[in-house]
Amino acid sequence: MITNPALVEAFESAQASRQAPDFLRNLRLVDALYQEARTLNVFPLKDPLDGIEVDIRLAQALNVRTAA
């Protein structure tokens, strides 16, 4: 649990301003994560809809609309 959100926000802001976005680096990172998932036999999914009921119930619980 974050006890000092202002400190975390200041840290994230400093980190973002220190590094310029690098598209190719990010693309290599995503590709490496995908290859690792394939190595661990996570992708491709045998049944893409496996566990969809849990995802739907979680989405319904998180998307609660409250009065403004």
Residue 48's pLDDT is what? 84
- The domain spans of the chain are 12-62
Measured distance CA(30)–CA(58) in Å, rounded = 26
Measured distance CA(28)–CA(19) in Å, rounded = 17
User: pLDDT digit string (tens) for 16-63?
Assistant: 888 888 999 999 999 999 999 999 988 878 888 988 999 999 999 888
How many residues make up the chain in this entry?
A: 68
* pTM higher than 0.75: no
User: Is the dihedral angle over the CA atoms 50, 54, 57, 59 positive or is it negative?
Assistant: negative
User: pLDDT digit string (tens) for 50-65?
Assistant: 889 999 999 998 887 7
Q: Residues 32, 26: contact at Cβ < 8 Å? A: no
Confidence of residue 68 (pLDDT cuts 50, 70, 90): low
